[in-house]
Amino acid sequence: MEAITGDHCNTEESRLYIFLSVVMSAEFILALPLNLSILYVFVFKFKFWKNNSLFLFNLVLADLLLLICLPFKVHNFVTGMRKSDDNIICKAMLFMLFLNRGASIAFLTVISVDRYFNVVHFGRKNFLKILKKSPHISILIWLLLLPLTVPTMLETFECCNSFGRAENHTLMTQVADFLRETVFFTQILIPFGVLVFCTVQINNRLRRKTVGDKTKLRRAVFLMASVVLVFTVCFLPLAVSRMILLIVRVREYAVAEKSVVQIYDALMCLSYSDCLLDPLVYCFCHSKFKEVYLSSVLPSRVKRQTHESERRVSRDLVNSIPLSSHKSVSEP
């Protein structure tokens, strides 16, 4: 089997990477105005600090910071490179990608755990219910994520020179490889396990409820389903492809490696679509957000729907009046 001792991050299939650059450009064009408008609504209309929506606000910030990286990735792919030739830009990009993807995953997990406690353990003391009203836990999450990005800065990650594949193979590179891969996989797999547990428990709670209004429970199930959707589409395929890529590289399957690298890069581009899927979480997490957002971004449509609903209600009221009442009114 042919071994590859180095990786200079060249794109061997130019047509594929041109297509991926088009996909990322579309994600950027669609997601940037969407998330900017959501940020505007959160700050000026929804007043997130009064509606216990600090976690959602931080999720929007993480998505916007992640979007900053897309034009650089597009430029690299168009010029035939998987990463920037400039070492400083490359490490800055890795830092931003890991920090903000980690923040997105962390806040999605915290939102889901908070909803789990509110539904399954309703009435008990919920520490998240207290902490989410203050910015302390959000600041703590960002601070805890900072040291987790350090391993990505030690050695190149973008081209996957891991476990003996780096040009200067030393004990330091082995430790950096182990830490980097551990952070990458645990950052995705452990939160996904937590999400599955919370989703199952909330769904069981909905099934056991035989009396009373189930609206809150159904909204919680939809929220968990939207978070699991984000993980299933954006993060899990990336983790699986990364695992396969590491196995192929360690066993030095040079022919298969070229195809697996392209699949990994394609799924990496797909992972950026969480910036388009996260608004589903906002709508299901807070019942009033969708109404406030639509009234702010599309006020004319909301007014038209309001007028139509008012006419419908008045028509139903008229139809509900007995026929004898109409006659009596019409008679002199």
| Dist CA 225 CA 281 (whole Å) | 9
On whether residue 9 sits in a domain, the answer given is no
Model confidence at 309, in pLDDT bands (50, 70, 90)? low
CATH code of the domain containing 102: 1.20.1070.10
Overall average pLDDT of the 46-55 stretch: 83
With b for 16 or more beta-carbon neighbours within 10 A and e for fewer, the 268-289 pattern comes to: bbbbbbbbbbbbbbbbbbbeeb
Same domain as 223, residue 307: no
> What pLDDT, on the 0 to 100 scale, is given for residue 250?
80
On whether residue 4 sits in a domain, the answer given is no
Same domain as 314, residue 269: no
pTM: 0.82
Same domain as 162, residue 190: yes
- Give the residue, 221 or 121, on which the prediction is more confident: 221
Same domain as 306, residue 180: no
Per the structure, the complete domain to which residue 323 belongs is given by 299-332
Which residues make Cβ contacts (< 8 Å) with residue 130, sequence separation at least 6? none
Number of domains in the chain: 2
> What pLDDT, on the 0 to 100 scale, is given for residue 167?
55
On whether residue 288 sits in a domain, the answer given is yes
Residue type, 193: G
How many CB atoms sit inside 10 A of residue 297's CB?
A: 16
> What pLDDT, on the 0 to 100 scale, is given for residue 210?
61
> What pLDDT, on the 0 to 100 scale, is given for residue 2?
43
On whether residue 216 sits in a domain, the answer given is yes
327: left (phi over 0), alpha (psi -120 to 50) or beta: alpha
Same domain as 129, residue 93: yes
Same domain as 308, residue 290: no
Query: To the nearest 10°, the Cα dihedral for 271, 276, 278, 284?
Result: -140
In the three-class reduction of DSSP (H, G, I as helix; E, B as strand; rest coil), residue 81 is classed as: strand
Same domain as 108, residue 257: yes
On whether residue 30 sits in a domain, the answer given is yes
Could you read off the pLDDT of 77-100 as tens digits, one per residue? 888 888 777 777 777 888 888 888
